[in-house]
Structure 1
């Protein structure tokens, strides 16, 4: 399984719940699509039993601090981030592109985005698009993440 989260916005309680879920599910990777906000919140991801790939969001002001914390357990970079994991090609961004347009999108099996705080899983052309919603839960009152099964290419939104 692959854990997907975004828009944690310093909600330590929700981050800890997500870490517990991802560890219990046996995730081989966790992807964070931006908006930790502060480095202290990102430090909770050090408790994961797998590596983390992440991008900066528009509310991540302390980029140097986040990079320093991430160096302990994963990587955080400027979006878009493209990488391969378990024979899948991923594109991760924070702010979604115009609906239906992602650069060279046919190259990617899975496109992960965030920013809207609205969980969504949809298929477009050859891509699976996933917005895990907001793990922080500050806007909607609902903390959500996503789990992706790379073998079946199926995903679910999970309420924490």
Structure 2
């Protein structure tokens, strides 16, 4: 997910749907905005790895509020999960370099509010805007790391 922009209703709907679909970890590509958005993750017991976006103000307090349910990083954040090399970023400034490197299995970015799933290796995903404030079309995405496939979810 990305660009939730404080929309708690859409955030809760997405997290409930994720839980129903057996999601074990949420990747958030930035623009949480306010620290209180940590509460739905805590209430629903959903772990999160996220990066800060350009609209995330109080980064220290955001990080503090997410402690215990996840971790927030300055992006791009590179990590390995289930044997897959992943890079998570908000703004896609370095996207072409990450794509060209051939080092990653999954690249997730946000900021544009435009959903995109491009299959192959790397699997490229922009889940669109969870908040739905700009387009009126809130969305998120699911990733099957084993099969390396993505699915766009319209909320």
Coarse TM-score class (shorter-chain normalised): over 0.9
Instruction: Show the counterpart of 1:95.
Output: 91
Match of 2:108 among 112, 129, 133: 112
Residue 103 of structure 1, CA deviation: 7.5
Of 137-146 and 89-98, more deviation after overlay is shown by 89-98
Match of 1:146 among 128, 141, 144: 141
| Structure 1 pair 39–84 and aligned structure 2 pair: CA distance change class (3 A) | same
User: 1:146–1:158: 8 Å Cα contact kept in structure 2?
Assistant: yes
RMSD over aligned CA atoms reads 1.6
Of 79-88 and 111-120, more deviation after overlay is shown by 79-88
Q: TM-score, normalised by structure 1?
A: 0.90
Instruction: Show the counterpart of 1:11.
Output: 7
SS where residue 82 of structure 1 aligns?
A: strand
The total of aligned residue pairs comes to 155
| Structure 1 pair 104–75 and aligned structure 2 pair: CA distance change class (3 A) | farther
Query: More strand per residue: 1 or 2?
Result: 1
